[in-house]
Amino acid sequence: MTITIPEREFESFQKISRAKQGFGCVITEKLDGSNGQILIEDGKIVGVGSRQRWIKPGKITDNYGFARYVEENEEEIVAKLGDGQHFGEWWGSGIQRAYGLTGSDKRFSLFNTGRWSDAAVRPSCMSAVPVLYAGEFTRAAVEQVMRELAEGGSRAAPGFMRPEGIIIYLPGPRILLKETYEHSDGKWKSAPVNDNAATEVAA
């Protein structure tokens, strides 16, 4: 055979991080909603997505109204977020555990806390997932954060006492890990399912 250059984007093997005695980490609250993304190129929104597909406003084509929300806030979203692929969690009334929110109260929390934790720089219609800890990654730190979150309740929705868990980000190797109270292989006990949670699985 004759080897030629394929007409597809080249994907290299991931870069391997150097092993260190410890890794720094950022721990945020894991929100039980539906994953969302907004793709902006050349100052225009070119795509709105759920976890698995592109979506648009419409009874069948949307995902809990996320595309409609983006469309309604398009001007500020483009101006503040700028070009890039912006990921976050779409959560609130009617989505999974709902967090005590009712009516049309749904919210979008961006995952990139390093860039969007400052409310002055992000769109006013959005928040960032709450940062619960920043420091060296240890099991002791993870367990302490889990205890504090269980005792104090959700930081994203104060007063809601059944948070889902946490996300652990290791910026060195760029790894995301999760720890949850329900369906965990760890020591955390499973809690009863919220009767008001949406039955549809988030896309």
Torsional class of 90: left (φ above 0), alpha (ψ -120 to 50), beta (otherwise) = beta
pLDDT of residue 4: 65
Q: What structural domains does the chain harbor?
A: 24-180 (3.30.470.30)
Tens of pLDDT, residue by residue over 7-61, are: 887 777 767 666 665 679 999 999 999 999 999 999 999 999 999 999 999 999 9
Angle at 146 between CA 116 and CA 36, to 5 degrees: 40
Q: 191 vs 4, which has greater pLDDT?
A: 4
pLDDT of 92 reads 98
Instruction: Report in angstroms the alpha-carbon separations of 182 from 2, 72, 144, 190.
Output: 54, 35, 17, 4
Identify which of 14, 110, 123, 31 has the alpha carbon closest to the alpha carbon of residue 79. 123
pTM of the shown model: 0.81
- Indicate the helix (H) or strand (E) that contains 106: strand 106-110
Summarize pLDDT for 114-127 with one digit per residue, the tens: 999 999 999 999 99
Question: Can you say whether the dihedral through the CA atoms of 109, 112, 117, 120 is positive or negative?
Answer: negative
CB-CB contact of 127 with 110 (8 Å):
yes
